[in-house]
């Protein structure tokens, strides 16, 4: 990197728009969406998709609800041409979907493009040429007038060729490529010349696509560009302003959202942001950002995992674990404080009514994972950074074990120590195994082998006779009390083993019907102040309580 002062790079500058309106606006409706997965997305793949993969992805895009899909650059390569023909000839294009084809504003390419579209019901012919000063100087060596003439001549040729597509509803899209780096006045001049050449109507508006071909500045400047253009362009009611942002600075989503606030009507992008360099706009992210604000995006993303699976299989790309909405870990909390807050939020929602009419308010989750086909089981996962709330959440959701809140720290510490020792994440089954080993199978030094309780007619107390083992030595003990646990405690006291007091007892059922079990939790405090919980699970309510007491007894001596 160059030492300061930096002379190699310069700030882009500002736009003179003192009365800008976009900062006070909100997004209140979905834009027109256009998927460019099969063009921009495909050309950015190390190994481009074959026809089979393209067909499957095209089918997915129509299922999601895209009504405009850029299917390729048919004049650029035989495979692109053949794929466009296959879509049309084999009837893959739904009646309400427009297929969009890209072409440079060059005569032979435009003519070949029209050949590819014969028989299509609805088509968008997307014509472009580069307009930025850098492209004019470095790539073409042309003046402003010469560049504008290329655009106008290309559009006039498209208009002249329309009779060749009789029966096809054709819409024109024009892109001044590198709009983001083109002088605003000049980009407006070129686009208005194109409007004059095309003569759009309100019923069939021209699409003016204003691409941030390379993201060069902060999103607010992009919004200024879009608002300036939207306010200045003539015959605005006959123009659909389209956004096509890239992600070179990592702010493609923000630039698109601010561009919509600035007056744009349409958005081009790809699933999960696949595209050149750092990618195109991720349509999934923008659409679900809208959804989280109460605006339906008019795209069906309820099975996001299935969408991602098709995307990854057809493109060979992978979605990062932390990718918004679609990543494996985005609805997962490892932090203890986060886990605890999520658990409390879920519990509160269950009490208030877990339905669509109830405003979604769960800490750390801006959207209900179920709306995207994700599972609650994936929300909280356990590693050495996890907290007591997360462990309790997993045991409750996965296994129906609702730990008393004072028991959370004791269980959480054991699980965290295990995760730290393994230096990895623990599965739900591994968490349950730790709990089972430490609380349900801990039979040393005290083991309950069998017991029997009786109550004589007319007596208030219940008698308990139990066979136990202390450090492996069997013996029979007996006691009496006002219930099974009280009687068992009395029996332990009779042989000198009661050095504790029972400070908490709770019980709940697990499952339903004939498979119902009882879970009991007992907390003991020893005479020297040690406090521990124990748990017992059994089909018998009475036995589960005694097992919980034995578990707690053994844990106070661990």
Tokens, residue 170? 């054709």
The contacts of residue 269 (CB under 8 Å, 6+ apart) are 33, 34, 35, 36, 244, 245, 256, 280, 281, 282, 283, 286
User: Domain of 551: which CATH number?
Assistant: 3.30.160.270
User: Degrees (nearest 5) of the Cα angle 108, 113, 119?
Assistant: 140
Q: In this structure, how many other beta carbons lie within 10 angstroms of the beta carbon of residue 509?
A: 13
Question: Is the overall model pTM greater than 0.85, yes or no?
Answer: no
Alpha carbon 169 to chain centroid distance? Answer: 36
In this structure, the answer to whether residues 224 and 310 fall within a common structural domain is yes
Task: Flag the least confident range among 120-134, 363-377, 404-418.
Answer: 363-377
Q: How far apart are the first and last CA of the chain?
A: 59
In this structure, the answer to whether residues 74 and 108 fall within a common structural domain is yes
pLDDT at 54 over 60: yes
In this structure, the answer to whether residues 354 and 459 fall within a common structural domain is no
Q: Pick the last residue of a domain from 258, 286, 315.
A: 315
Query: 515: which DSSP letter?
Result: G
Residue 401, domain member (yes or no): yes
Tokens, residue 247? 């992600």
CB 483 within 8 A of CB 451: no
In this structure, the answer to whether residues 283 and 393 fall within a common structural domain is no
pLDDT digits (tens, 9 = 90+) for 223-282: 999 999 999 999 999 999 999 999 999 999 999 999 999 999 999 999 999 999 999 999
Q: CA-CA distance, 70 to 267, in Å (whole number)?
A: 12
The proportion of the chain whose per-residue pLDDT surpasses 70, expressed as a percent, equals: 97
Mean predicted lDDT score pLDDT of the chain: 93
What's the average model confidence in pLDDT over 313-324? 94
In this structure, the answer to whether residues 218 and 96 fall within a common structural domain is yes
Q: CA-CA distance, 455 to 90, in Å (whole number)?
A: 83
User: Domain of 395: which CATH number?
Assistant: 1.10.287.1400
How many domains is the chain partitioned into structurally?
3
Angle, to 10 degrees, between the axis of helix 51-64 and the axis of helix 78-89?
Answer: 50
Q: What H or E segment, with its residue span, contains residue 209?
A: strand 206-212
* pLDDT at site 337: 79
* pLDDT at site 451: 94
Parent domain of 506? 446-555
In this structure, the answer to whether residues 370 and 340 fall within a common structural domain is yes
**DSSP string of 92-128, one letter each residue:** -S-TT-EEEEEEES-HHHHHHHHHHTTT-SEEEEEEE
Residue 322, domain member (yes or no): no
User: Domain of 231: which CATH number?
Assistant: 3.20.20.70
In this structure, the answer to whether residues 345 and 253 fall within a common structural domain is no
Residue 331, domain member (yes or no): no
pLDDT digits (tens, 9 = 90+) for 67-114: 999 999 999 999 999 999 999 999 999 999 999 999 999 999 999 999
Task: Output the 3-class SS for 273-307.
Answer: HCCCCCCECEHHHHHHHHHCCCCCCCCCCCCHHHH
In this structure, the answer to whether residues 426 and 541 fall within a common structural domain is no
In this structure, the answer to whether residues 386 and 458 fall within a common structural domain is no
Q: Pick the last residue of a domain from 440, 455, 471.
A: 440
* pLDDT band with cut points at 50, 70 and 90 for residue 377: low
Q: What is the CA radius of gyration of the chain?
A: 34
In this structure, the answer to whether residues 88 and 128 fall within a common structural domain is yes
Residue 54, domain member (yes or no): yes
CB 41 within 8 A of CB 277: no
In this structure, the answer to whether residues 166 and 268 fall within a common structural domain is yes
Angle, to 10 degrees, between the axis of helix 144-161 and the axis of helix 107-116?
Answer: 30
* pLDDT at site 458: 74
CB 113 within 8 A of CB 74: yes
Tokens, residue 424? 């990895």
* pLDDT at site 513: 77
pLDDT digits (tens, 9 = 90+) for 388-445: 777 888 899 889 999 998 999 899 899 988 888 888 888 889 999 999 999 999 999 9
In this structure, the answer to whether residues 499 and 352 fall within a common structural domain is no
Q: CA-CA distance, 101 to 99, in Å (whole number)?
A: 7
Residue 170 in 3-state DSSP? strand
């Amino acid at each position: 990197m160059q030492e300061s002062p930096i002379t190699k790079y310069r700030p882009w500058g500002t736009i003179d728009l003192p009365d800008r309106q976009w900062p006070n606006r909100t997004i209140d409706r979905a834009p027109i969406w256009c998927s460019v997965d099969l063009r921009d997305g495909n050309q950015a793949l190390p190994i481009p998709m074959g026809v089979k993969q393209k067909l499957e992805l095209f089918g997915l895009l129509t299922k999601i609800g895209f009504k405009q899909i850029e299917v390729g650059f048919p004049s650029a390569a035989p495979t692109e041409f053949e794929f466009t023909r296959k879509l049309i000839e084999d009837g893959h294009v739904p009646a309400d979907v427009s297929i969009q084809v890209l072409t440079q504003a060059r005569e032979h390419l435009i003519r070949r493009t029209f050949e590819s579209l014969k028989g299509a019901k609805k088509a968008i012919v997307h014509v472009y040429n580069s307009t930025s000063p850098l492209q004019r100087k470095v790539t073409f060596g042309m003046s402003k007038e010469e560049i504008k003439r290329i655009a106008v001549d290309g559009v006039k040729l498209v208009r002249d060729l329309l009779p060749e597509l009789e029966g096809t509803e054709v819409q024109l899209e024009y892109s001044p490529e590198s709009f983001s780096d083109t002088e605003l006045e000049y980009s407006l001049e070129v686009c208005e010349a194109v409007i004059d050449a095309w003569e759009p109507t309100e019923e069939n508006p021209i699409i003016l696509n204003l691409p941030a071909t390379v993201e060069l500045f902060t999103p607010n400047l992009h919004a200024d560009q879009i608002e300036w253009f939207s306010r200045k362009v003539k015959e605005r009611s006959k123009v659909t302003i389209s956004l096509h942002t890239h992600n070179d600075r990592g702010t493609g989503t923000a630039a698109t959202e601010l561009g919509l606030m600035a007056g744009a009507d349409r958005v081009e992008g790809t699933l999960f942001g696949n595209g050149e360099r750092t990618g195109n706009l991720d349509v999934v992210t923008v659409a679900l950002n809208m959804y989280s604000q109460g605006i339906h995006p008019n795209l069906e993303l309820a099975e996001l995992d299935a969408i991602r699976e098709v995307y990854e299989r057809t493109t060979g790309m992978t979605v990062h674990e932390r990718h918004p909405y679609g990543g494996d870990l985005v609805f997962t909390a490892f932090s203890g404080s986060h886990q605890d807050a999520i658990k409390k939020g879920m519990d509160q929602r269950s009490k208030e009514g877990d339905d669509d009419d109830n405003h979604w308010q769960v800490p750390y989750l801006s959207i209900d994972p179920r709306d995207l086909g994700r599972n609650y089981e994936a929300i909280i996962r356990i590693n050495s950074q996890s907290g007591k709330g997360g462990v309790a959440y997993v045991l409750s959701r996965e296994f129906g074990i609702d730990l008393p809140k004072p028991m959370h720290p004791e269980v959480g510490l054991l699980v965290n120590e295990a995760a730290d020792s393994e230096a990895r994440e623990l599965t739900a089954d591994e968490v349950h195994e730790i709990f089972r080993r430490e609380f349900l199978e801990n039979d040393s030094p005290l083991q309950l082998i069998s017991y029997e309780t009786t109550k004589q007619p007319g007596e208030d107390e219940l008698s308990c006779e139990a066979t136990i083992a202390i450090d492996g030595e069997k013996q029979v003990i007996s006691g009496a009390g006002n219930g099974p646990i009280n009687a068992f405690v009395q029996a332990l006291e009779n042989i000198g083993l009661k050095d504790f007091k029972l400070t908490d007892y709770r019980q709940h059922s697990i499952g339903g019907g004939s498979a119902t079990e009882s879970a009991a939790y007992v907390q003991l405090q020893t005479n020297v102040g040690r406090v521990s919980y124990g748990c017992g699970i059994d089909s018998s309510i009475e036995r589960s309580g005694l097992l919980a007491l034995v578990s707690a007894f053994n844990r106070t001596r661990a």
